[in-house]
Structure 1
Amino acid sequence: MPISVDDVIQLLCQLAQKKGMKAAVRHSGQGALLAGATAFVGGLMGGPPGIAVGGAFGGLLGAWMSAGQFKPVPQILLELPPAEQQKLCDEAIHILRQLDWTDAVQLTALVMGSAGLQEKLTAMLINYLSKQLGASVQYGK
């Protein structure tokens, strides 16, 4: 039975909510720019030791600025553009295609009743978030 992208996204949202998943998209470009700028200023003011101190300070400042920017994974999934949601749906369907179900409610019940399917879908979701979005994921409610 064909399944809609919205149904798969809702299934993944329920799974992420059950696991208490949160993710933060890394702003590596901003952090690198900040570390580079502080290393440059440190080099101008203190020579080679200033570069090391400036780079370390910039790295710490960048990490501090991005700390606490975790958002619930369901919110991230619902905010994805349709093309990204379709990619995620395609990956999930590879895991779900062997199941026998009639509607989205039954599919959700099958997945929530199977620890193995939950693990596979969770691993796929974490892989997607880290590789495609550059996000770091944490658990806990």
Structure 2
Amino acid sequence: MPIDTRELMEAIAIVADEQNVRVAVKQSGKGTAICAACCFAGGLLMGPVGLAVGGAAGGIAAYKMTSGTFRPLGEVILNDLTDTQREQLVQHVTKAVADIHPTDIVMLIPLITQNASIQQVVLNAIMSYATNELRMQIVD
């Protein structure tokens, strides 16, 4: 029996959301640059004290500019992936749980949502896919 891709994607998103996995969506570099620039400018103007003041000011500025750009991985999985990426993720997760050998493929989705050890296998597969294929940064 073929896997219902949408149901499996929802199960994967549930696992990611339960573990509170978030990803940085194209803003980590911007925040780093802002913080570093402020710290550098503070150091040039006021010496060692300026490093601390510039670092604090840069951190606050980076927070304000990148606020809301770290999103739950489950939301990204359900809303932002293309059909090709969804299919690749389903294949990635299916390979990860292939050793489990569920007697019926219909049992795979409840197995993923209810079994902690399988959730960890699926979570590792999701995080691997997000970092290696989608080039996203996982935020703890």
TM-score (norm 2): 0.67
Q: Which segments of 5 or more consecutive residues in structure 1 lack a partner in the other structure?
A: none
Q: Provide closer, same or farther for how the CA distance between residues 72 and 101 of structure 1 changes in structure 2, counting only shifts above 3 A.
A: farther
Q: Provide closer, same or farther for how the CA distance between residues 5 and 45 of structure 1 changes in structure 2, counting only shifts above 3 A.
A: same
Matched residue, 2:94: 93
1:31 aligns with 2:31: yes
Q: Provide closer, same or farther for how the CA distance between residues 107 and 55 of structure 1 changes in structure 2, counting only shifts above 3 A.
A: same
Deviation of the 1:76 alpha carbon: 1.3
1:109 aligns with 2:110: yes
Partner of 2:9, secondary structure, is helix
Residue 130 of structure 1 contacts residue 136 of structure 1 at CA under 8 Å; is this kept in 2?
no
1:33-72 aligned within 5 A: 33-47=33-47, 49-63=49-63, 65-66=65-66, 69-72=69-72
Deviation of the 1:12 alpha carbon: 0.4
1:13 aligns with 2:16: no
| Residue-pair matches, total | 135
Q: Provide closer, same or farther for how the CA distance between residues 114 and 51 of structure 1 changes in structure 2, counting only shifts above 3 A.
A: closer
Deviation of the 1:52 alpha carbon: 5.0
Percent identity over the alignment is 26
Residue 21 of structure 2 contacts residue 138 of structure 2 at CA under 8 Å; is this kept in 1?
no
TM-score (norm 1): 0.67
- Whole-Å Cα distance in 1 between the matches of residues 131 and 65 of structure 2? 20
Q: Which segments of 5 or more consecutive residues in structure 2 lack a partner in the other structure?
A: none
